[in-house]
Each structure stands twice: as C-alpha cells, then as structure tokens.
Amino acid sequence: MMDDYIIEYISHEMGENQATLVCKTSEGNESIVRVDFWSPEIVRVRVFPYRRVVEEGSLMLEGEGPSDVTRPSVRDNRRYLLLKTESLSIRINKSPWKISFLDSDGSLILEENVEDLNVAGEFQVLPIGFSSEGGEVKRTWETFALSPTERVYGFGEKFTWFDKRGQRMTLWNVDAYSNTTERSYKNVPFFMSTRGYGIFVHTTRRVLVDVGCTSTSSCCLSVEGPYLDYFLIYGPSLKEILRRYTGLTGRSPVPPRWSFGIWMSSSFIENPFRTQGELIEFCRRMRAEGLPCDVIHVDPLWMRDGRWCDFVWDRDRFPDPEGMIREMGGMGFRLCLWEHPYVMVGSELMRTADGRGYLVKRPGGEAYTVQPWGEDLPPVGMVDFTNPEAYGWWKGLHKPLIEMGVATFKTDFGEAVPEDAVFHNGKTGAEMHNPYPLLYNRCVFEALRESGKDRPVVWARSAWAGSQRYPVHWSGDVECTFSGLAGALRGGDLSIAP
C-alpha cells in the first residue's frame, strides 16, 4: 500500500459557483480538488486522486442544493488563491499546499494541518491524501488542525465521553450489544466544533476518525473509498451549524403527540406478555395501579416461530389481535410491533422474496444469508431496499397491520450487511452497509404515512446521516444499570441531528 498526499497547487478553473484545482502529490501524481459553494456559509470539498472525477447521487442529501447566487470573488497571486463569499473565505496556499477557512472578518475558522511533524521531521499524521495499491485507491483522508481549546461533538450515537477530543472512532454500524463502548448502532459522519464550524463527511462508506488521539494537534477523517467528499458548515453558533446541516440532510418532522408519552417494551428474553391474555391482563393491571403508559411494544413473539419477519400473527398466542387492539385502545394504549428487515430461511416469505429477486445477493448472484441472531436461529435473507419492487412489497406487508390498528413498528436490526454483498442498484455492501437502515426506516415510515398516519413515527435502532427524517430512535440493547443509563444519555445527546 502506497501513501500519497497533496503538496502543491498546479492550476485552477472557475465555474459559476465552483473551483476545480489540479494539484501535485508527494509521489508525483496529480489529483483534483473541487470546491463547490452551496451557500455563503456552506462549502463542499471533494478530492479525486489521479484526476479520476466521480459524480454520484446521494441517499443523504435531501434539502437545499447549491445556490446559483453563491458566486465567490477570486483573488489569485503567486502565493495563494482566495475564494470569497459574504460569509466565508477559502484561502488555498499554493506551495506548500494548504486550505484555510476564514470568516467574513478574515479570522481563521479552520485549516488543514500539513505539518504535523515530530522532532525528526517525520509525519505524525499525514496531510490530505490517499492510499493506493496497484493504482486502485483504497482510502482517502483529510487532516485538520485542532486549536488548543476547541471542543468537538458528534459522530452519531457514541456512548463515550461527550467531547470527542482525544478519541479514535470507527463509523460503521454494528449490533453493539451494549451502550458503554465506542461500538454503536447509529453512526453519523458529522461533527461540530466550538470554533464555529461543522464537518459533514458525505459518504456511506466506513469512516475512521482520530480527533487528537494520535496527535493532539490533528483531527484526521479517513474514508475507505476512492475519493473524499465533505462539507464545511459555518455557524458560527452550534444552533446555526445544526440548522444548516439539516438543511442539507433533511429536517426531522414533529412526531405525534402520543409518542412523547411513556412506552413499555417487553424483553425478548424475559417477556411479560407472550400471549394475548397476558398482554390484556398487563394493560388492565397498569390501569388498576394508576401507572401511566401510552404505548405497549411486543417483541417477535407476536409472530410464529421460525417465520420472523413475515408479519403474520401467531393465532395460537394471539387468537384475536383485532379485538385485542380495540380493547387496548379503550384503555388508552397504542400497540407497537417488532420487525427486522430480514426473512428467515425456510419461511414462505423467504421463498417469495428469493423467487422474485427481492433479496441482497452474493457476488455469484444467489441470495446472501446471514445469522444476526447467532447459531440459535435459522439464517435470514436481507431485503434489498434499492430494488423498487422489493421496497414496495415490504411497505405493503405493513398496511394490513396498520389498518388493524397497529400504531407503529419497532424497526429493529439493520446492521448486518456484509461488505461483499451486491445490491440491485449495483452498489456493494461496503457502500450500502451504513445507509441500509436509512432506506429500511424510510420504507416503514412511508408505509405508515401512506396508510393515513398524519404524523408517522417508527422506533428505530440503526441509522446513518439523514435518518433524522424518520423519527424516533432508541439506544439499542442496553444494560439495565446506572452505567447503562449514563451511556444512553451520552449516546442520545448528539446521536443524530434533530
């Protein structure tokens, strides 16, 4: 693997609201750095090694696109190129290469760190660059300078200390089995700094983050992919940074009033209501004791064993779900049902999905099966939400339950996509692993909305950038301890943008 990094400017061309720069690297190659002005306060920076420009659509961007009126003024001299809007200036030092972001007064907001060296002159953290093998780019990165006093917040549902300075993180959704470690269900490649800026790494791939851990002077963001793409968002307040970030990735709609009440969830392992009789008795007891509760959630046992998730009631355990839901409603309860985006091998739904090509595939073309439950339960196939027919099919499976009176669904799991999987849209699992829950939750959210729910709400476990569009989320499997409670609070402080 060869590391290469940008060392100097060669030339540039200006478009309406875009600058395209050609740069020289330490190994004598050429890269393109493209700067797009989305608004006076938002700048997009993309780095294309070997001048291999890639233009792709986005699952994450939903809000305002680049503004036609954001045309920077340009100053070009021997030492630097200065691109200026009414709120931001970007100064690009030509040799040695360095990008600096300045406010309207010319004060420094953020700059690349291109000389994080030890006393022997060796790099502690490499400047903006990439790694390649046999001419194929494997990884790209950007390195920013950290000021001595700034604080950094974000990166999604991280259960570690709120200020992420001094931490190293991997942004890759996993079934964390806990909420007291760095592993998490909801990773978001976005952070904010007390210096008045935010950075949104616009990618779906695995991101490695080092916020002053290897070197206290540097924040390095590394993407396992062939190009780098990030947005610099100027506030200067954290409130304005968040507002502009959600302007890019979508706002969170207001959930229904009842969803702000108390939810009572059964445990899969210790389930207090495994049958209709137990559930109704539980509801009656809650009301008899005067205990407040608005939503009752039932985990997988509402379905038949070995058929998760086929959306068919186990009529032995729940012989009259329609009547049960009506009786619960009369006591002031709403019902939430469990699901995951997988179908079990051996079930009728698996045969249907596989026969129609609705499942994520292996490189050879057969359905990819995984075992997110471990060896205790059969393997499952994963619904391919990039296939429009599969997406509509899965959405339709919810509608009879919604018409029956089910209020919402616990959209569990969604973190199991292998990196070598192949999707209908041509993407690999390395590209679709992280945004898979974004599509999954959108599908269920739309099923609720299309069935007449004015303010739909899901109860989601996994997420990626943009998932705030489909509220709400919970912190996954937690320890019922005060330590677990503290982890949930830390993870929820900035798990996804509101």
Supply the residues annotated as catalytic: 412, 415, 477
Torsion of CA 348, 351, 352, 357, to 10 degrees: 160
Q: What is the DSSP letter of 393?
A: H
d(CA 86, CA 105): 10
* Distance separating alpha carbons of residues 298 and 134, to the nearest angstrom: 52
CB 490 within 8 A of CB 162: yes
Sign of the CA dihedral running 408, 412, 415, 417? negative
Burial class (CB in 10 A: 0-12, 13-18, 19+), 44: buried
Distance CA 335, CA 276 (A): 12
Question: Do residues 85 and 40 make contact, with C-beta atoms less than 8 angstroms apart?
Answer: yes
Distance CA 452, CA 41 (A): 38
Give CA–CA dist 495/275, Å, rounded: 35
The pair of structure tokens assigned to 237 is 């307040």
DSSP string, 278-332: HHHHHHHHHHHTT---SEEEE-GGGBPTT-TTS--B-TTT-S-HHHHHHHHHHTT
* Dist CA 206 CA 204 (whole Å): 7
Q: How far apart are the first and last CA of the chain?
A: 40
- 421 Cβ contact partners less than 8 Å away, ≥ 6 residues apart: 360, 361, 362, 368, 382, 428, 429, 432
Burial (CB count <10 Å: 0-12, 13-18, 19+), residue 327 = middle
C-alpha pair distances (Å), 141 with each of 3, 135, 152, 220, 229? 11, 17, 18, 7, 9
Residue type, 87: S
CB 192 within 8 A of CB 238: yes
User: Helix count (H) and strand count (E) of the chain?
Assistant: 8, 26
Contact 417, 429 (CB under 8 A): yes
Q: Hey, how many other C-beta atoms are within 10 angstroms of the C-beta on 365?
A: 8
